[in-house]
Structure 1
């Protein structure tokens, strides 16, 4: 590996140990020579890594005393620690794409495009109007139905939708730009849906997770599956056109995890960068012949009379702060979700398991 970028990997590994508590305040790091032997690199590369950590105020170096974890690290405020964690994630991403053959100019251009898109998605929302509940989050067919019928569930109230992905919804909730969010994020380490992400993004807040349903995720195919697609491994087939969900969506995060486990690289899939903001937009692209296969919900495939290959279940929760949950319109919504008639309606869409629909789980 080019030593220009190896120092970032060294710094990242040490930073991870500090942020996870494996290296504590005052702990001495290995000497430059020992660390260079461990990483099979030059002393200069390790020195550059230590300098980067010092810039992040995670370590201090003193003549004759070596390099130690900063005494202020343990007592650091959450903001600098979060910034340090963000820096290490950014550098890990940079390392990954550079070693994949992209140039710095390619990366910068792609990031600028992505940031511009998120500025549009995360634009400032007006304060909630009287009688209007602001929903931001992941796309779902039941949520879309809810918005068009909300005044029947909660009289004189309206549900305002903005589909920005699961992460976008939780961020909007944390920033006060939403009253409730929709999320189906799977934490790879714990195997839990949503709870770990709510704890990280809404720390110290008492929040309810109201289960909408468990849903069937998989591949959306042309009717009759004319190309004989059987699973994720077929996405690497030459000439097979794929359509994806956007970055930040729960579906995209799940897909990336499934591809890693299957040993499939994104660059092996034609159309991996072709993104849609909703499940129905993915299904529409397949139905109109713009793509041969997409990733999404069984319910979306059914709505366009397309074939579907089941790959995994998820759990879609409405994430609602306590103050909002106790309001009359949201109480009416929760009561509606717990009715047998509602569950039958949701089940009728196909691909939904409603045995936990309406269940309330508290966080914080």
Structure 2
């Protein structure tokens, strides 16, 4: 099976029309992550002399220093250098799920040239790190999967139209489950569906390291001087925030940044880590990856919906076999905030969500 990888790349053009950043951002990211120009050069496979020349050209084109270096203390980025690095991280966090979906489509086109279309597993899912892990395991097993990341509403609509075999979404566990279920009941009550558990994960507030704004819950988001970054309007995490705010009798319009929406948890984390916001609601994994503090609020359940007509197929059998392996569960449990103890469990919709009875 062919594997396709697509990575975002960007550059800035100076006022004179010359490109100011050709591999320069890659070098700056290396300095940021290693604290050393020499180690950044080794990682990028650039000579030390060439890298210094690249830095000087970039600084001349942009009109400001990008790196400071002192004997014995390594290299440090200037504020401008930091801004370029965090711009790169935000671009990657925002585009990676989209590019992963596109790469999956291209892989499927390769596969269709060698295998019948019905052999390709169609997965439409709300973005999540356990889903990414499953996709990697499917690739290792040479199982062709067309993975598309969508909002939960789009996923359910796709399932209803018969355009996917597995529909991945998430719902909160506890008192907010029932009101959230009501948002999706018209799809879930259609019957003829199996629920396949993937994992539980923690949702909470992502804040800067040390929590300088002393944010401890959604009630603190309305305080003056607190900037928030939200998710897109049709996402389940956005709906979850609205339920949390309603529980506190808070109008979302009172929050600075309520209308600023990002499309993934990682993009929210990058937004906060770059200093553009003080808090965002999301899961724990990207918070840790971006060096943020995480304030847990609740657990949620991530699962797949599978039509009964598709359930008894070799493709679904292969997925269930992967989900039930200790190797896969270990990989998911290694993700901060994730718990795979029920991974691969299969239930009827009403058994999984008793609130749907009647």
- Normalising by the smaller structure, the TM-score range is 0.5 to 0.7
Cα distance between partner residues in 1 of 2:119 and 2:275: 41
* Deviation digits for residues 303-322 of structure 1 (CA, Å, limit 9, x no counterpart): 22211000011111111112
Shift of 1:175: 1.4
Match of 2:147 in 1: 161
CA root-mean-square deviation? 2.9
TM-score (norm. length: structure 2): 0.61
Gaps (5+ residues) in structure 2? 1-104, 351-358
- Identify the match of residue 173 of structure 1 among 136, 153, 159: 159
Match of 2:21 in 1: none
Q: Does 1:282 align with 2:268?
A: yes
Segment drifting more, 128-137 vs 233-242: 128-137
Secondary structure (helix, strand or coil) at the match of 1:219 reads strand
Match of 1:232 in 2: 218
Match of 2:254 in 1: 268
Cα distance between partner residues in 1 of 2:243 and 2:166: 26
Shift of 1:197: 6.4
After TM superposition, the runs of 4+ consecutive aligned structure 1 residues lying more than 3 A away are 125-131, 185-199, 202-205
Shift of 1:244: 0.9
TM-score (norm. length: structure 1): 0.60
Q: Does 1:328 align with 2:293?
A: no
Cα distance between partner residues in 2 of 1:291 and 1:180: 35
- Identify the match of residue 315 of structure 1 among 280, 283, 301: 301
Shift of 1:179: 2.0
* Deviation digits for residues 218-256 of structure 1 (CA, Å, limit 9, x no counterpart): 001112222221111110012211111112222111111
Secondary structure (helix, strand or coil) at the match of 1:208 reads strand
Gaps (5+ residues) in structure 1? 1-124
Secondary structure (helix, strand or coil) at the match of 1:211 reads strand
Cα distance between partner residues in 2 of 1:344 and 1:188: 25
Shift of 1:328: 1.5
Cα distance between partner residues in 2 of 1:183 and 1:285: 24
Structure 2 contact 171–177 (Cα < 8 Å) conserved = no
Match of 2:75 in 1: none
Cα distance between partner residues in 2 of 1:199 and 1:244: 24
Shift of 1:202: 5.0
* Deviation digits for residues 179-213 of structure 1 (CA, Å, limit 9, x no counterpart): 21111135998835987666521554411111111
Match of 2:123 in 1: 135
Segment drifting more, 194-203 vs 321-330: 194-203
Cα distance between partner residues in 1 of 2:260 and 2:231: 8
Q: How many aligned residue pairs are there?
A: 239
Cα distance between partner residues in 1 of 2:318 and 2:261: 35
